[in-house]
Structures are given as structure tokens and as C-alpha cells.
Chain A
Amino acid sequence: EIVLTQSPGTLSLSPGERATLSCRAGQSVTSNSLAWYQQKPGQAPRLLIYGASSRATGVPDRFSGSGSGTDFTLTISSLEPEDFALYYCQHYGSSPRYTFGQGTKLEIK
């Protein structure tokens, strides 16, 4: 099982600032197996990024994903008030089919 470690656990920033969220895999993974989700309180996760760097339909272009091998990054170029939420990275594998990082909470400073 691939373990995903997200950092930091909590990120405190102000609107307009740039956010950089990290996801590290316990061993090298293919880029097409890495995705990012956003979750707001009381809501289901929403797909943001798939294939490490492709934005899902309707996702603003201030969100971008990058990385390869074991290190992946979600960047939000200029934070909007609605971006403060929980973010999870996800790996697709064989068994279990999906594993998730423990999450990064992006909070307003």
C-alpha cells in the first residue's frame, strides 16, 4: 500500500496570498494515478486535479498541480475566500484501490 503524507497539516494564509500544498508518496507513483480533492465543511469532496496536473471541469485556473515520482504539489496562485477548506491528495493503486493523504487544512490567517 502506498502511503501519502501531506504537509503542512494546517496552512494559515490571507486572501490574495499563494498557497503551496505538498503530497509525498512512500514510493514512486505514476503521475496519472495522483489526484487532488477539495472538501468544505459538511460537503463531499470535489475533484480539483487529476493526472497530477490536469484541472477538472469547472475548476478555476488559479489551481494548479505539479510533480512526479514521490513529490507532488497543489498550488493556489491567489487565494479567494472560498478556497479555505480541506485538501486531500489521492493515489490510485491495485490494493487498496484508492489511498488518501491525511489532508491539509487551509485556514484564513
Chain B
Amino acid sequence: EVQLVESGGGLVQPGGSLRLSCAASGFTVSSNYMSWVRQAPGKGLEWVSVIYSGGSTDYADSVKGRFTISRDNSKNTLYLQMNSLRTDDTAVYYCAREKVSDYWLDPWGQGTLVTVSS
């Protein structure tokens, strides 16, 4: 079964850091494109970042320079390192798979909540 499980969310102060993890099973992370998408409380979906199968990365302007996406092929796990966190980064963060030949995200993990507050 193809599955994604996020972890690492929590409460952090403005200016702080947090690292999210997304453990994959049923497929190989490094053979796919993997994205992070977030959803602020009561709001819509916002794409955050992608790591391509070749290892290159891309980011939304809102997080560029503050967030870093990476993966550990030996653990089949995706990460999102979030630095210089702001209150408007508060959201549920989802990881999702994009097959190399596709233009959509499937499946998604269950999400992990990040709250940035003093």
C-alpha cells in the first residue's frame, strides 16, 4: 500500500526552527517528485516546495531562503527544514507524491500541524 506519514510538527516561537519528516512506504521517494503543501487554519491549500527525482528543488516565494526540502534515500523519507519561522507559517503541512509523468498529487499524507506563536 502506498502511504505517507508526516511527523515533527509542534509549537515553535517566531524566529525558531522545526524539521518535518515524511516517511514513505509502498514506493521509492527518490524515483518520484515529492512536494510539501500547507493549509493555514480555515484556509485553502498552498504549495510550498518540491524535490525532483534528480535532486533539484524548488520553492514558493513565501518560503524561499527560509525552508529547505531534502530526502534520505536510505530511509525513504522526505524532510522540510523550516527556519526563521513566522506566525503566518502556522498551518497543517502535508507531503504528497507526484509521479514523474503526472501533473497532480497523489497520495497525500495525513498532515502535521505547525503552530508558530509566542
Contact = CB atoms under 8 A, between A and B. Distances in A.
B94 A97 contact: no
Contact of A99 (B47, B61, B111): B47
Interface string A38-50: 0000011111001
Interface stretch (A10-18, A75-83, A100-108): A100-108
B47 A98 contact: yes
A92 B44 contact: no
Interface in A17-55: 32-33, 35, 37, 43-47, 50-51
Interface stretch (B12-20, B76-84, B100-108): B100-108
A67 B2 CA distance: 30
A84 interface: no
A98 B35 contact: yes
B41 to A, nearest CB: 12
Nearest to A1: B61
A72 interface: no
B45 A96 contact: no
A1 to B, nearest CB: 9
A4 to B, nearest CB: 10
Nearest to A43: B110
A90 interface: yes
Interface residues of B, number: 21
B110 A45 contact: no
Contact of B94 (A45, A88, A90, A96): A45
Interface of B: 35, 37, 44-47, 50, 58, 60-61, 94, 102-111
Given A50-B102, A98-B47, A100-B44, 5 more contacts: A88-B44, A92-B104, A97-B50, A98-B37, A102-B44
25 contacts: A35-B104, A35-B105, A43-B110, A44-B107, A44-B110, A44-B111, A45-B94, A45-B105, A45-B108, A46-B108, A47-B106, A50-B103, A50-B106, A90-B45, A90-B104, A96-B60, A97-B35, A97-B50, A98-B37, A100-B45, A100-B46, A100-B47, A101-B44, A103-B44, A103-B45
